[in-house]
A = this chain, B = another copy of it.
Amino acid sequence: MNLKELSTLLGLSQTTVSRALNGYPEVSEVTRDKVMKAAKQHNYTPNIRARGLATGRNHAVGHVIPLSTEHEVVNPVFTDFIAGASEIYARENYDMMLTIVPDKTEAEAYRKIAAKGSVDGVIVHGPKANDPRIALLREIGMPFVVHGRSGIAEESEYSWVDMNNTRAFERATQFLIDLGHRRIGLLNGLEGMDFAMKRREGYRAALAAAGLKERKELCYSSEMTEEYGFSATMEMLASRRPPTAILASSIIVGFGVRRALDTSGLKIGKDVSLIVHDDDLSYLRNGAAEPIYTATRSSVRMAGRICAEILMEQISDPKRPLRHVLLDAELIIGHTTGPAPQD
């Protein structure tokens, strides 16, 4: 069923039917009702391509999600981020186009997407500390929102939604120091990612404030897998001066830490304390009633919603001022932290 068929069926012109459907004031309420009913009855939906061609607007946004070339892993937070974003898209009747791209060829992917002209805007995932995509997108002139930030570009020059990584890890570290811990391991995300840099800064700041030095042998950074959590912890535990507390950049890494401690016969929250960052993923809830892990928490699904909302805004009126949203992570106390053991 297309517009033409529907309109002849109704004995009206295509113009009128189109206008009735799109809420233009030039048609009477009686006609509009009739049209609406007929459309519903015949399950008519305007062909999105044709509409896009005619209006120049696509009612679609793109997500380009980077695939770590080295490790072939796509960040598991995307499911929830996208779930959040798609709530908004559904409401606004927007489509979501997904492209998974090896991180090396990302820039090219954006260019291609822009040239194909099938989306009205994009969301940038996983910004590096020094990310060329921001400049690229500004040059192309396509609306975009960054999930996170990138150290290199002026923050005021693009829209972003980020959590306060620095502050979160500063507080977590501080909390451990207050509990008497002096040797605190950091299992950070992949070096080069902006969020990882910022977390390390927070960690470092808290240490400095307590007059402690950052020790290189306690700082790891890698793709955030369970195996990484395990092996890095094992390595630290085997060292001459093992940590009494560990900061892990994700709950999955935390799983690995837990396994390493078990394997080593150490009691979590007693022999070694653990704080994880918790993205509040739906399939990785940090406990039901009561949190299991002490964690810095910030919902990535919420971030998805906000990103999408801002992007919609930006698309519908490109003149709108840029938006910057900094989400605060809460520090929630679970069962994996306790006072530093006396030695």
Interface residues of A (CB under 8 A from B): 1, 43-50, 52-53, 58, 60, 63, 67, 71-76, 78-80, 82-83, 86, 90, 95-101, 111-112, 115-118, 223-227, 230-231, 252, 255, 258-259, 262, 268, 281-285, 287-288, 292
Which single member of B96, B117, B259 contacts A98 (CB below 8 Å)?
B96
Q: Are A283 and B48 in contact (CB under 8 A)?
A: no
Given known A-B contacts A49-B117, A258-B259, A224 and B283 have beta carbons under 8 A apart: yes
Known: A47-B118, A262-B268. 10 other contacts (CB 8 A): A45-B112, A47-B53, A47-B116, A60-B97, A74-B80, A75-B79, A97-B97, A224-B283, A252-B283, A255-B255
| A292 to B, closest residue via Cβ | B259
Q: Are A72 and B227 in contact (CB under 8 A)?
A: no
Q: Are A98 and B97 in contact (CB under 8 A)?
A: yes
Q: Are A99 and B86 in contact (CB under 8 A)?
A: yes
| A223 to B, closest residue via Cβ | B283
Contacts of A223 in B (CB 8 A): 283
Contacts of A100 in B (CB 8 A): 82-83, 86, 90
Given known A-B contacts A74-B83, A83-B74, A53 and B45 have beta carbons under 8 A apart: no
Q: Are A283 and B73 in contact (CB under 8 A)?
A: yes
Contacts of A225 in B (CB 8 A): 283-285
Q: Are A115 and B43 in contact (CB under 8 A)?
A: yes
| A95 to B, closest residue via Cβ | B97
Query: How far is B49's CA from A115's CA once the two chains are assembled, in angstroms?
Result: 12
Copy count, this protein chain? 2
Q: Are B226 and A285 in contact (CB under 8 A)?
A: yes
Query: How far is B223's CA from A95's CA once the two chains are assembled, in angstroms?
Result: 27
Contacts of A95 in B (CB 8 A): 97, 99, 118
| A250 to B, closest residue via Cβ | B283
Q: Are A284 and B79 in contact (CB under 8 A)?
A: no
A326 to chain B, nearest CB (A): 25
Which single member of B49, B80, B99, B227 contacts A288 (CB below 8 Å)?
B227
Q: Can you identify 10 A-B contacts, CB atoms within 8 angstroms?
A: A49-B50, A49-B58, A74-B282, A76-B79, A76-B281, A79-B79, A86-B100, A95-B118, A96-B98, A262-B262
Q: Are B45 and A49 in contact (CB under 8 A)?
A: no
Q: Are A118 and B49 in contact (CB under 8 A)?
A: yes
Contacts of A117 in B (CB 8 A): 47-49
Contacts of A75 in B (CB 8 A): 79, 283
Query: How far is B224's CA from A58's CA once the two chains are assembled, in angstroms?
Result: 37
A159 to chain B, nearest CB (A): 22
Contacts of A255 in B (CB 8 A): 226, 255
Question: Which of the listed residues A43, A98, A262 has the most CB atoms from chain B within 10 Å of its own CB?
Answer: A98
Query: How far is B76's CA from A75's CA once the two chains are assembled, in angstroms?
Result: 10
A224 to chain B, nearest CB (A): 7
Contacts of A67 in B (CB 8 A): 83
Minimum-distance CB pairs A-B, first 3: A73-B282, A45-B115, A86-B100
| A251 to B, closest residue via Cβ | B226
Q: Are A282 and B71 in contact (CB under 8 A)?
A: yes
Q: Are B224 and A72 in contact (CB under 8 A)?
A: no
Query: How far is B76's CA from A76's CA once the two chains are assembled, in angstroms?
Result: 7
